[in-house]
Amino acid sequence: MLARKPLILLCGIVFCVGLAVSQGQPAAKPLSGDDIVTRLLDSNARRAESLRAYQGIRVYEVDYKGFPTGHKHAQMTVRAEFHYPHQKTITIVSESGSKTLLNHVLHRLIAVEQETSSEKEHSGAEMNRTNYRFEYLGVDRSPGRDCYLLRVIPARDDKLLYDGKIWVDATDFAIVKIEAQPAKSPSFWISQTQIEHQYGKVGNFWLPFRNRSTSRVRMGGQASLSIEYQDYEITAEQQSQLVQVLGGE
C-alpha cells in the first residue's frame, strides 16, 4: 500500500504505500517481473486489510531559496491517525517559521492528503496495473536487504502518480524505497521535482519513515520538503489476514 498548487506536490505520492509483514530475509529468489508485481500487489491488498488502525507523529520541514523572497523556512509537527479503510485524521501539534510556506505549502499539503484519502481518490493513485506499467530491472540491496528493482511507468499524466523506480523487499514483497518524479508537474512554476521515499518496519508492518522532495522553480529558486515519521503505534491489527501474505509460499 503505497502527495496541487505551487510547491504542494513536492512529495506527491500516497503516504501509505508499502505495508508489509516481517518474516526474515533469505536471498532474492529468481522470479519474473510479472511474478514480482503479482506478489507485491496481492500482498499489499492483504496487508491493507490487516492494518486496521495506527497513529504517529510527523515532522514537516520546507525550505525555499530563490527570487524574490531569498531564504524561507517553515516547520510543522502533526499527529496522524488512520482507521481502516480510508479514514484519516491529521491534527497540528505545532508550527513555526514562514507564514507563506505554512499557509500555502504545509497546510495545503495536509488538506490534499486528507482529500485523497477517500476511496475514489485512493483508487486513482493506488499502485496497480490500472495506474502503472512495470519493468523488471534486476536485484539490488537497499538498504542492506535483498530487493527486486522495478521501473514504474504511469498509465497517464496525473499529479498523484509518479515515474521512477521502486525497491521491493524480496521476502516481504513490500516497497522499501522509491526514487521518482511526478507523472505531471504540480504547477507551471515548478520545472522539475525529484522524490525519494523510504519505509521501515513497525511491528508486523512496513510504514513510511522518511520522505524527501526537491523542486526547481522556473524563476530560478529551489524548494525542498522533508517529512520524518516518528512514534508509530499500531492500535488495531487483524491477525487472521497476516497468514501467507506472500501469495502462497
Domain ranges in the chain are 33-234
Distance of CA 119 to the CA centre of its chain: 17
Radius of gyration (C-alpha) of the chain in whole angstroms: 18
pLDDT at 122: 64
pTM for the predicted model, two decimal places: 0.81
Under-70 pLDDT residues of the chain: 1-27, 117-122, 186-189, 239-249
**Bond prior to 68 in cis (omega within 30° of 0):** yes
The CATH number of the domain covering residues in 33-234: 2.50.20
